[in-house]
Amino acid sequence: MNTVSHALIGYAASSIIFGPEIARDNIMPIILASTAMDVDHIFYFIKHIKPVIKQAKTGHTTPNLQGIFHRVHSQLIFMLLMMVLSFFIDTTLVRIICFNVFLHMGMDALIDCYYHAFKPFSPNLLSIRIFGDKKMRIIADIISVPVLTFILWVI
């Protein structure tokens, strides 16, 4: 799923769960928590720049874009960090951040065709593949941004 869709869904879900006023007051932490996991894509592209350029020219994509932030051990470290931070910052903010980070992980597991959440412990895929193949996922990504923007505009 694309990063913009993660941010829009994170904001919409936070508005429903925590209330629109709290979501509006915490819009930056929601957006950052919803999209921070995708920073590891940048490191992947930098490390593999030649294959990425070749794939862009040929139209073929690689199935292994999830970096270190999309792994279970990274989520464990994140949870320990949030537990420590909960002593120093508002617990509602900690809940909002945790909710959006794990919402991101859950959406990737539902939609991504190649989600290796338990790597390096297990090479198995964790994906329901709700949209089937890669082509359907790309179509869903293209449609999701304007639809989600419209929904948030109406709300």
Domain map (residue ranges) of the chain: 3-154
d(CA 21, CA 49): 42
pLDDT in tens, 50-89: 776 666 666 555 545 556 676 677 778 888 998 999 899 9
pLDDT value of residue 118: 61
pLDDT in tens, 103-152: 888 887 777 655 555 666 666 655 555 555 667 667 776 777 777 777 77
| pTM of full prediction above 0.75 | no
- Say if CB 1 and CB 111 are below 8 A apart: yes
pLDDT band at 18 (very low <50, low <70, confident <90, very high): very high
